[in-house]
Structure 1
Amino acid sequence: MLMLIVRGIAVVLLVALLLIQFLHLRGPRVLDLPPQQTVVTCNDRIGLHTRLTGIGDEAYIRGALEQVREMGAPWIVELFPWAYVQPRSRYGYDWVGADLVIEHARRQGLTVVARLDLVPSWARPANTTDRYLDPAFYDDYAAYVAAFAERYAPLGVRHLIIWNEPNLRFEWGERPPDPGAYAALLKVVYPAVKAVAPEAIIIAGALSPGTSLEDGASRMDDMQYLASLYDAEAGPYFDMWAVHAYGGQEPPDAAPGPERVNFRRIELVRAMLDHFGDEDKRLIITEGGYNDHPRWSAAVRPADRVRWTIAMYEQARNYPWLEAVALWQHSTPFATRSYPDAWNFVAPDGTPRAVYLAVQEYALACGA
């Protein structure tokens, strides 16, 4: 009888231990924060897309954000995956990684634009990708975004991007793009966030630019997708529209057109919002730029990348409706040894590339 009691106690303790491990999330981390800094620049729309959440190396993160500031960029776009913050269940939040990036960005004087997506395994069916968000879990995702806003909007992180390139099959969980489903998501997220952080700015869009691929099954034309969102009455459920403004192989002053992917395609997006009565809503570029890899067919010459990148930032000053231009990307902590490396402004070892140094020089002298 005693043995049975002992075994019973052991089982209860084991279950309790497993439950604690399942529910326990990391506590706050003491950070080694530098003194408060400010960004010195003559173009307050300069920005970079960073890739820092999930690295966990505080020295690396601090160094990367120092480089962004020293380049003269007041803005960053950073991904804060839902899967990192609620990895095990809908109960509780692990803010350690997000705190690390946001607190260091604040100390560097940077404005953070938060991209919020990537679905944890518990919130999607088996054998689906981390881009698969089923309507049954829209409320859970909205709860995450609202909790993020409630925590970080008082710290200045007000710009929240709801999903990434939903007009792509890959980013929509290997399903055909569905603007009606994305509109439904916005309608759940918007009121949940505004209830706890009225000052938050809900950013929709961030579409893959260009015409349809595979009759829209792989990519839906970005202009068609935007029009369909308005047809689905999504207009009242976002405050700002995000654009991915890649230049392709054309200079940033090349004329826009429905079939062309270039920097001035953002003017077509602006006209579309105006057409639907949203003249007061601003645009923000959350990806963009040029690639100068010598063996990639869509690349430009290194000298053109430098000149055209600066021209992008300078041309943005002529658009009163444009919030910021966060180009892709500052750096990554690893090298692919292929064309993705050639988007970087800084090498993985921290060495600035020519485009970084040129923008840094421009940011101190533009308009002089």
Structure 2
Amino acid sequence: MRTDRIRPAASGRLGKAMLLALALAMVLTACSRPAPTPTPEPPTPEPPTSTPVPSATPTTPAKPTLASSPTVAAKATAAPQPTATSKPAPASMRLKSPEYGMQAFLWYKPEVASRDVQVVKQAGFGWIKQGVGWRDVEPAKGQFIWTQLDDIAKWIGEQQLNLIVRLDHQPEWAGGGFPTNGPPANYADLGDFCYALASRYKGRFRAYEIWNEPNLAREWGGRPPNPAEYAALLKVAYRRIKEADPNAIVVSAGLTPTGTNDATAMPDDVYLDRLYQAMGGSSDGYFDALGAHAPGYKAPPEVSPAEAAANPAYGGQRFFCFRRVEDLRAIMVKYGDADKQVYILEMGWTSDPVHPAYSWHAVTEQEKADYLVRAYQYAKAHWAPWIGLMSLIYIADPFWTENDEQYWWAITTPGYPNLNPRPAYNALKAMPK
């Protein structure tokens, strides 16, 4: 899933047409429940022959005007310089199990963004995920445009929310296959950007997700996914963020669930195992929490990976369910990482009747509402204490139309100035936290 898309891609901003060549993986919980029983088998749909994965989206495409509002010209500022200061002891990296988040789109219009942070707050959720395109903040080496991020920091602070930002989309000067989203030619350039960002927003931005879905070639500069390269990139970003803000939480990129294993994609479980090997079997110095993506596809949230694999109606593979996260958790435990938490950075169900890559696993809006509440309940009952943040997709971008895949994942209907909640938003707002 894409977090600024499902594209879904959130993620938090979490669209182009989906890649049918990868069709069947994507996107783009807090009352106790008893252990689930196998779900009755529904009628078998006709899924595509390969895994769907969300399409990439420019981080800040040109937007039509919602209403006339004054625009202040952004000014580029020079990069901050590291200073030799003593570092405070890092705060605990563990969150309550779980904590509740939504992906929103705070970049474009102040009037929309200031409304949507209140929408998240009013639902009783404590986190927002927001995508930050490196190319939009540092268009030239060492020259930064902070206008939008300063506004976001202000709105988040006013509502006393936590923010996790996803960092990707390198600028043209950094190379890496621009305009395709890809790692820079020199990882130190990303490190410098991370240092500048974490320095400016120290104590205000709580967590950083480093890249998005690097197990897809289209998110890795059009090149085959390479866990060793991503490990090297992650290590640089981790070190520079911690130099600037030791209390910031660094989260590994959410991986798209997929069974495709070729030059275009690598299965998420295979990628994660190879990532641990590239890190020497230990994530220390690489990440504080593991990022994961957990779309539910056609299955209710209690369906296990084994059930999904055994039931063609659910897609017939282990990754076609919300509980796929348990397979990734098992890899963490295998490498001795049981003490670190998993953050779900994209989760949801689609009601899409339009796009074939999604419509085979579409649910109704009422089912979406029910499944999301049950997913949070299941996680709280069965995944504590290792589950941390659970961030769903999306508070809708007001510019989305029914032709956009992510329109159908959202828990609100696009619109401004009025908020148009779908059943899922109302159910989540009423859900005990």
TM bucket, shorter chain: 0.7 to 0.9
Question: How far 1:302 moved relative to its partner?
Answer: 2.1
Taking CA–CA contacts closer than 8 Å with sequence separation of 6 or more, which of the two structures ends up with the larger relative contact order?
A: 2
Q: TM-score, normalised by structure 1?
A: 0.82
Deviation readout 1:119-151 (Å, 9 max, x if unpaired): 1111116x63241223x3211111111211122
Question: How far 1:44 moved relative to its partner?
Answer: 6.2
Q: Do the aligned partners of 2:203 and 2:248 also contact (CA within 8 Å) in 1?
A: no
Confirm or deny that 1:49 pairs with 2:134: no
Question: How far 1:260 moved relative to its partner?
Answer: 3.0
Deviation readout 1:67-109 (Å, 9 max, x if unpaired): 111111111111111111101x112221111111121012112
Q: Do the aligned partners of 1:292 and 1:299 also contact (CA within 8 Å) in 2?
A: yes
In the alignment, structure 2 segments of 5+ residues that lack a partner are: 1-73, 79-95, 307-316
Deviates more, 1:217-226 or 1:189-198: 189-198
Confirm or deny that 1:268 pairs with 2:350: no
Percent identical across equivalent pairs?
Answer: 32
Distance in 1 separating the partners of 2:263 and 2:320: 19
Residue type of the alignment partner of 2:387: L
Confirm or deny that 1:255 pairs with 2:309: no
Residue type of the alignment partner of 1:109: Q
Aligned mate of 1:122, from 173, 181, 197? 173
Aligned mate of 2:135, from 73, 77, 83? 83
Question: How far 1:298 moved relative to its partner?
Answer: 2.1
- Taking the TM superposition and a 5 Å limit, the aligned residue runs for 1:3-152 are 25=76, 45-53=99-107, 55=108, 57-87=109-139, 89-124=140-175, 128-134=178-184, 136-152=185-201
Distance in 1 separating the partners of 2:227 and 2:263: 12
Distance in 1 separating the partners of 2:102 and 2:241: 26
- Taking the TM superposition and a 5 Å limit, the aligned residue runs for 1:275-290 are 275-290=334-349
Greater share of helix residues, 1 or 2? Answer: 1
Give me the CA root mean square deviation. Answer: 2.1
Question: How far 1:61 moved relative to its partner?
Answer: 0.6
Q: TM-score, normalised by structure 2?
A: 0.70
Match of 2:246 in 1: 198
Q: Do the aligned partners of 1:149 and 1:158 also contact (CA within 8 Å) in 2?
A: no
Residue type of the alignment partner of 2:399: F
Deviates more, 1:244-253 or 1:102-111: 102-111
Change beyond 3 A, Cα 1:142–1:153: same
Q: Do the aligned partners of 2:171 and 2:178 also contact (CA within 8 Å) in 1?
A: no
Match of 2:390 in 1: 325
Question: How far 1:63 moved relative to its partner?
Answer: 0.4
Deviation readout 1:227-247 (Å, 9 max, x if unpaired): 111111262211110110100
Deviation readout 1:225-272 (Å, 9 max, x if unpaired): 011111112622111101101000001000124633211111111111
Q: Do the aligned partners of 1:242 and 1:286 also contact (CA within 8 Å) in 2?
A: yes
Match of 2:10 in 1: none
Aligned mate of 2:374, from 303, 306, 311? 311
Distance in 2 separating the partners of 1:44 and 1:252: 16
Deviation readout 1:152-180 (Å, 9 max, x if unpaired): 2322x231100000000111121111111
Q: Secondary structure at the match of 1:153?
A: coil
Distance in 2 separating the partners of 1:76 and 1:185: 25
Match of 2:353 in 1: 294
Q: Secondary structure at the match of 2:193?
A: helix
Question: How far 1:310 moved relative to its partner?
Answer: 0.7
Q: Do the aligned partners of 1:129 and 1:174 also contact (CA within 8 Å) in 2?
A: no
What number of residue pairs does the alignment pair up? Answer: 320
Aligned mate of 2:275, from 229, 232, 251? 229
Q: Do the aligned partners of 2:402 and 2:408 also contact (CA within 8 Å) in 1?
A: no
Aligned mate of 1:340, from 406, 418, 421? 406
Q: Secondary structure at the match of 2:344?
A: strand
In the alignment, structure 1 segments of 5+ residues that lack a partner are: 1-22, 28-41
Q: Do the aligned partners of 1:45 and 1:313 also contact (CA within 8 Å) in 2?
A: no
Distance in 1 separating the partners of 2:237 and 2:270: 23
Question: How far 1:43 moved relative to its partner?
Answer: 9.1
Distance in 1 separating the partners of 2:153 and 2:321: 31
Q: Larger Rg: 1 or 2? A: 1
Q: Do the aligned partners of 1:120 and 1:130 also contact (CA within 8 Å) in 2?
A: no
Change beyond 3 A, Cα 1:79–1:113: same
